[in-house]
Amino acid sequence: MLRQYERHLTLERDLSPHTVRAYIGDAVALLGHVAGNSPENADVGRVDLANLRSWLAAQRTAGASRTTLARRAAAARTFTAWAHRAGHLAADPGPRLAAPRPHRTLPSVLRADQAKDAMAAVSSGASEGEPVALRDQAVVELLYATGIRVAELCGLDLDDVDYSLRVIRVLGKGGRERSTPFGVPAERALRRWVEEGRNALVAPDSPPALFLGARGGRLNQRAVRTLVHEVVAVVPDAPDIGPHGLRHSAATHLLEGGADLRTVQELLGHATLATTQLYTHVTVERLKAIHDRTHPRS
């Protein structure tokens, strides 16, 4: 049965391998709870609202955070909805399962001047034309210019870049494709990397990836995260952020510059406007801080 559920998540829901593993793990944990920690003996038909609630309650007692509980409740609802449609459950108890809402914490972001300093730092590193340094400059410039996710960046191929329009074709979550613009500094860094640096890293079996690792394979996400942390670390007083922090920074600076929420939603590839609205809280917090610091009647 779990194999059927896994195929549903992979083929019908088109979820990432990481998300599929998490959902399967939550389903196994739920079934184990129902069957007294023996998921192989669990009868899916016994899953009801009472044991869904007791499963979450046991995790809360064990110290699970609100965010974890909310995620696992969502996974349980997905599982029971599928089990009901597949005929394993007579009724779906999932819609009646409530869970604590996760705390929405404000993301750490760079100020505009700090982002400028970070771009200057990575540009200085590329000044001598060393291939990896050219790649690193292009990576950081493109992340900040577009706000794309690190997985989306690592998945880019050479033909996903349109230099004439200065846009990239991005394959986002759920297989959704979008076009995202980038500015002149990112274009210059990209052109220099592709024309002067990339060939030095190409191997006979290299993929058509836009960004390559030192051995000629597609650049991996861990290397990008390490790079961003190292670049930001040289900026005085900057928060310790990774690629997602650059994404937060790009969204915040777009809104501070006058972009509307719908435009930022489209650029970032958010499925719902509610996700994009988180960044309005960031800009409001900044405005309040500036007001408190500068207004004579603050």
Pick from 225, 227, 238, 235: which is nearest to 109 by CA?
238
Pick from 247, 286, 283, 282: which is nearest to 267 by CA?
247
> Could you give the residue numbers annotated as active site?
149, 173, 244, 247, 270, 279
Quote the CA–CA distance of 298 and 289 in Å, as a whole number: 10
Hey, CA dihedral for 74, 77, 83, 88, is it positive or negative?
A: positive
Amino acid at 220: N
Pick from 17, 27, 20, 30: which is nearest to 58 by CA?
30
Q: b/e map of 158-175 (b: 16 or more CB within 10 Å)?
A: eebbeeeebbbebbbeee
Residue 12 exposure: Cα atoms within 13 Å on the Cβ side: 8
CA angle 119/122/127 to nearest 5° reads 120
The alpha carbon of 193 is separated from its chain's Cα centroid by a whole number of angstroms, namely: 25
- 54 CB contacts (<8 Å, ≥6 apart)? 33
The alpha carbon of 111 is separated from its chain's Cα centroid by a whole number of angstroms, namely: 21
Quote the CA–CA distance of 57 and 70 in Å, as a whole number: 12
